[in-house]
Structure 1
Amino acid sequence: MRSERLVPLIVACALFMEQLDSTVIATSLPAIAADLHEDPISLKLALTSYLLSLAVFIPASGWFADRFGSRTVFRAAIIIFTIGSLLCGMAHSLPDFVAFRIIQGMGGAMMVPVGRLVILRTVPKEELVSALAWLTIPALLGPVLGPPLGGFITTYFDWRYIFFLNLPIGLVGIALATRFIPDIREENVPAFDFRGMALSGVGLAGLVFGFALLGQHAVSPSIAFAVIAVGAVAMVFYVRHARHTDRPILDLNLLKIPTFYAGVVGASLFRIGIGALPFLLPLLLQLGFGMSPFASGLITFASAAGAMTMKFTAAPIIRAFGFRRVLVVNCLIASVFIAVGALFRPDMPHLVLIGALLLGGFFRSLQFTSTNALSYADVPSEAMSRATSFASVAQQVSISTGVATAALVLDGMRTWRGTGEIQLADFSVAFLVVSAIAVCSVFFFLRLPPDAGAELAQRRVKPAAPAETPNEMGSAA
């Protein structure tokens, strides 16, 4: 196999490690909470702290790759992530666990975006959809294996061993990166935007972490709102900074590209709904249905299995119907399957639960593949590193917002009742809320022109009348 065809699989190795880690943690949250003597909802900080670390450090990934070379940065990122995994397995308190998850996030922030950047710069545009789809197949093994594997280890051994699984995977990733990843770098790299990095870091951290602190009984609501306010002010200053900087750390001018705008902003709303599911499902099955972590994992893995099935059909579906039609129709279908979680009951046959998760995973994965490819359809090659950083930040912020939203709904419901226990009805409300948020993304996809991403889809669309054709950087943004 040629080295350029091995690159997607090597990057997938890193994705596999990250996805295995996140899905294993989600399945094991109740057990980790019990061992650390914490409320299960408080373990949302273990998820959001990692995602927050990604969001803060991802903006620097493109610059570091351009300056020091993609192979050097990609390999260093795997090392940091692996070390963070080792430390997480040794944590004995929630603050320790959160801190070590942040270290993991620092590695993940460089690992995945830089790997995706290598693919975008080495794969021809007409092969990009298929490359991105095949790229995620090994990575999807993480979500497939993660729930049952994590549940098995947690039920019959100790949850700490799940983090040690990353050690051999990380070593393999380091060896493959050294041998096959090209050391792509730019000749003339502009100065690093330290001011923008500080403002965006404080802004994103304040907004994401402050929102996650809401409902955290160890912290008063006034402190949480103060953190959110600091984040909002920092982001306002960042927007002003970005407008007067040639190469800001997060290039807001990219949002003027209609396909990038729809693929990032519209998809972010959809990911809020999806981001809540890895948090809600294990809690529902273990706290609401009384299942063991292993039994819970055997059911929730169906969602990832459905996603893997879709990867073989994504390109033909997009080629047949086009990006706009797929994104609009599929958004509605996938949002319905999120809402279906509100109907899950303990006496429901397991085959029905698995079938619903299997189909839901299929349609959600189609949406992700479509938006991921469409986002870069019209991005100039010289702006690709900035585009990957921007899109990755938006993705992590939206997923962490989904976790925080679901946790806030659960905590709000039990507070409203005046009880300390989470009841089954609370999960139904949470599923409906995040589904309603996800379906709102359809309005962004409706604004796309019919021929959006036609080159990537490899299909011919009859040009619209001149009066209906938006400008290259037109109002569709």
Structure 2
Amino acid sequence: MQNLDSSVIATALPAMARELGTEPLHLSAAITSYLVALTVFIPVSGWVADRFGAKRVFMVAIAVFAFASALCGLSRGLGELVAARVLQGMGGAMMLPVARLLLLRQVRPEDVVRATTWLTMPALLGPILGPPLGGLLTDTVSWRAVFWINLPVAAAGLLAVWRLIPDERGARPPRLDAVGVGLIGAALACLMFGAETIGRGLVPAPLALAGFALGGGLGWMAVRWARRAPNPALDLSMFSVPSFRIAVASGSLFRIGAGASPFLLPLFMQLGFGASATTSGLITLATALGAFVMKPMTSMALRNLGFRRVLTWNAGMVAASFVACSLFTPGWPLWAVFLVLAWGGLSRSLQFTASNALSYVDVPPGKLSSATSITATAQQLFMALGVTWGAGWLAASSALGGRAEPAVADFAIAFLGAALPVLLAAPLAARLAPDAGARASGHRRG
């Protein structure tokens, strides 16, 4: 449901902009507000699951997500939509991290890659179904229907949780670090406010810069607090594990570029190619199909090459796919565009799965809750920054060209901008030991 929601909204953005009376680029706030809410509330997801039980947390989270989806479909302006998306993010923040934590507590290190693959395979149905379904609903019903489809999915999810997830409780967790959670959440919210509004004309420039300054100051305070708090919300000791530290750092850079792509592609197909929302959804479906095909082959790639080689060289493959996207023009045949996007989906899926698995391989069992909160927060934060990164390049190129609406050349610049952080992730991954994560990958040197 989460992945379906994330993929359908990008396809519907132009239609939403027309009805709500705003610019398509400004509607990136509808995506980033959801991702920011996820980022802010994910740090407490592990504690909440331990305190109240996974089953109860799942059911409440699904109900909140469904209620917020209905509010999104009823929105009459950008402000209402953003508020409903924030509420939706609060529900979403309690779903995936808790599921990942439950899984990782049950598997051995050598089974992490296989288990992570099985966890993400069903979730890929969202990106596969999302683009064509979102386009079809937008063209035949309304963009509001892309939110309403969450309601029957949520009902099925509630039934599944009630029937299949055991109602169990572990040891009572230590007291919640409310100060740390507050500082982290406020810092992330301020930083994302600055990133989303700078240079966009949404608020005065000094206010956007103040968001950056305040977010940086609060982040510094959060780190200082984490170093002396007895049970900090941000457990900095996790970064003493080399594989965890490098996986989070390189994966965060990678997600900036990867997060820009789902925002740019549907807009490019509709504004650059003049395609309908349905056609746009069918073409961008190629990325999800490529990702789906790669998932079963990930274990084989890691076994033969190891984490270091995969994460280093595959980052170059992903960057090359973005460069290929920058060469798109309306003269390209759609089958060629489809093949390029499928190639990008293959390489991105391999990078995501390898980075996710490596994050947990060497983490002590007692630290899994902390590791899950940190990685999930970093993932959502940098995916949100990716949307802002792509929208920023697009807006800057359009403004320099004196165009009110992005043209093909502006999208080319934005895709090249998306390739930059992906390339920077490669040298970070190259710092891994040759046998890093060997317990999970099965790779042996020589």
TM-score range, shorter-chain basis?
over 0.9
For 1:113, the equivalent position in structure 2 comes to 97
Say yes or no: does 1:45 pair with 2:56: no
Q: What's the C-alpha RMSD, in Å, of the aligned pairs?
A: 1.1
Q: Is the 8 A contact 1:89 1:160 kept in 2?
A: yes
Q: Is the 8 A contact 1:48 1:209 kept in 2?
A: no
- How far apart, CA to CA, are the structure 2 residues paired with 1:218 and 1:456? 47
**Counterpart mapping for 1:19-418 below 5 A:** 19-418=3-402
Alignment CA distance shift 1:322-1:360 (3 Å): same
Q: Is the 8 A contact 2:39 2:381 kept in 1?
A: yes
- How far apart, CA to CA, are the structure 1 residues paired with 2:409 and 2:398? 10
Amino acid at match of 1:170: A
Structure 1 residue 209 displacement after superposition: 1.9
Amino acid at match of 2:370: R
Give CA deviations for 1:185-222 in whole Å, capped at 9, x if unaligned.
43141110000011001100011121001233231111
Amino acid at match of 1:260: F
Unmatched tracts of structure 2, length 5 or more: none
Structure 1 residue 319 displacement after superposition: 1.1
SS in 2 for 1:399: helix
Structure 1 residue 184 displacement after superposition: 4.7
Amino acid at match of 1:335: A
- How far apart, CA to CA, are the structure 1 residues paired with 2:125 and 2:15? 23
Give CA deviations for 1:75-110 in whole Å, capped at 9, x if unaligned.
211111111111111111000000000011001101
- Relative to the length of structure 2, the TM-score reads 0.98
Unmatched tracts of structure 1, length 5 or more: 1-16, 463-477
Amino acid at match of 1:440: L
Structure 1 residue 418 displacement after superposition: 2.9
Say yes or no: does 1:447 pair with 2:431: yes
- How far apart, CA to CA, are the structure 1 residues paired with 2:323 and 2:377? 26
- How far apart, CA to CA, are the structure 2 residues paired with 1:376 and 1:183? 25
Q: Is the 8 A contact 1:113 1:389 kept in 2?
A: yes
- How far apart, CA to CA, are the structure 2 residues paired with 1:97 and 1:379? 39
Amino acid at match of 1:61: S
Q: Is the 8 A contact 2:302 2:441 kept in 1?
A: yes
- Relative to the length of structure 1, the TM-score reads 0.92
Amino acid at match of 2:337: L
For 2:403, the equivalent position in structure 1 comes to 419
Alignment CA distance shift 1:125-1:184 (3 Å): farther
Structure 1 residue 245 displacement after superposition: 1.3
Amino acid at match of 2:257: G
Q: Is the 8 A contact 2:112 2:361 kept in 1?
A: no
Amino acid at match of 1:112: L
Q: Is the 8 A contact 2:43 2:373 kept in 1?
A: yes
- How far apart, CA to CA, are the structure 1 residues paired with 2:444 and 2:433? 13
Alignment CA distance shift 1:250-1:185 (3 Å): farther
Structure 1 residue 409 displacement after superposition: 1.2
> After the TM superposition, which of the residue ranges 104-113 and 242-251 deviates more from structure 2?
242-251
